[in-house]
Amino acid sequence: MNMMRTAMLLATMTALFMGVGYLIGGSGGMTIAFLIAAGMNLFSYWNSDKLVLRMNNAIEVDERNAPEYYAIVRALAANAGLPMPRVYLIDSPQPNAFATGRNPENAAVAASTGLLQRLSHEEVAAVMAHELAHIENRDTLIMTVTATLAGAISMLGNFAFFFGGNRDNNNPLGFVGVLVAMIVAPFAAMLVQMAISRTREYSADRRGAEICGNPLWLASALDKIARNVERIHNPEAERNPAMAPLFIINPLSGERMDNLFSTHPNTENRIAALQAMANEGVGRPAQRTAPQPTAQSSAPSGPQGPWGGRPAEQAAPEQPRPSGPWGRNPTGPKGPRS
């Protein structure tokens, strides 16, 4: 079923891409757009994860330079029966996280330094369990490919604005076609992308709560992330808004309406669903504690470690951000694998 949905989505986005090409350059433009779309689909399948990680300036970490964070992901992956994903860190004060990769064997999870500093140990575990649920459900492929194609359709719309008006002889609909290519097609791509993202968040919330063993941990994490996202900007996401649906909470703005135009479901609705799960006893039969820090990392250096010292949310906002998790610089950071 997931493969069928993925194929249908790719067909829809490819059709939109071809439609924009037709509106700009007629049948010749449609042919060129089809070839470009086919190439982008192949490129996205194999390389979209690397592209997304690079766009967010993510660095790969391991148990040597981020032992607590890495141990959480490793324990949760074992709980879920998943292969160990690659683990990345984003140097950003905005608490957020995402997963990417074409399948569980080639997956990666990424969390921001703000997430590790502002959330408790249990809340971080719940967020990473949510991202592992996306990997298990194979949402990561469809979301990263959709983000790539949606961005490409928007670029074609911009191309139509600058060049479409001079090619009325190739454009069967003239100025109306250019207008449709500029506005309607990118808007339609955005709606498809948002609808897919929103439906998958509820499923990932539920499975993530099962993986970590406590829905209330994730409910608390979502509340903290949403409140911080409203006041902390993410410049990389602002420059590449097509990436927004990849994150656990929309990094662009605090969405307050659960409607067709939001990239994510309303956070309060997600929290209510998780609280209902807790009332139903989800996680209680095999109640688990959050994966615990390793012995060598139980006393992290620096006063703003997430699970020791003063809570990060009480820290002065003007205090400089650490360049690595828990105030330590990662030794030998690795970029996305080529």
**What's the confidence (pLDDT) of residue 246?**
85
pLDDT at 156 over 90: no
For the stretch 2-27, pLDDT in tens is: 566 666 766 777 777 777 777 666 67
Structure tokens of 309? 């010292």
For residue 294, tell me if it sits in a domain: no
pLDDT tens, residue by residue, 193-224 = 666 666 788 989 999 999 999 999 999 999 99
Q: Which of 40-44, 49-53, 246-250 has the lowest mean pLDDT?
A: 40-44
Q: Catalytic residue, from 60, 68, 131, 136: name it.
A: 131
Q: Which residues are annotated as a binding site for Zn(2+)?
A: 130, 134, 201
Determine, yes or no, domain membership for 265: yes
Cβ neighbours of residue 52 closer than 8 Å, sequence gap 6 or more: 98, 100, 144, 147, 243, 246
Annotated binding site: 130, 134, 201
Comparing 34 with 82, the larger pLDDT belongs to: 82
Q: Is residue 6 part of a domain?
A: yes
**Residue 230 annotated to the active site:** no
pLDDT for the residue numbered 139: 85
Mean pLDDT of the chain: 74
Q: Tens digit of pLDDT for each residue in 273-328? A: 999 999 988 765 444 555 654 443 333 333 333 443 333 443 333 333 333 333 34
Out of 160-164, 210-214, 241-245, least confident range: 160-164
Closest of 136, 134, 111 to residue 123, by C-alpha: 111
pLDDT for res 206: 94
**Residue 100 belongs to what domain range?**
2-284+320-327
CA dist., res. 255 & res. 37, Å (int): 31
Contacts of 81 by beta carbon, 8 Å cutoff, 6+ apart = none
Does 338 reside within a domain? no
Rounded to the nearest 10 degrees, the angle between the axes of helix 67-80 and helix 185-212 is 90
Do the domain assignments include residue 289?
no
Categorize the per-residue pLDDT at 178 as very low, low, confident or very high, splitting at 50, 70 and 90. low
Q: How many domains does the chain have?
A: 1
**Residue 312: per-residue pLDDT:** 40
pLDDT in tens, 43-65: 777 887 888 899 899 999 999 99
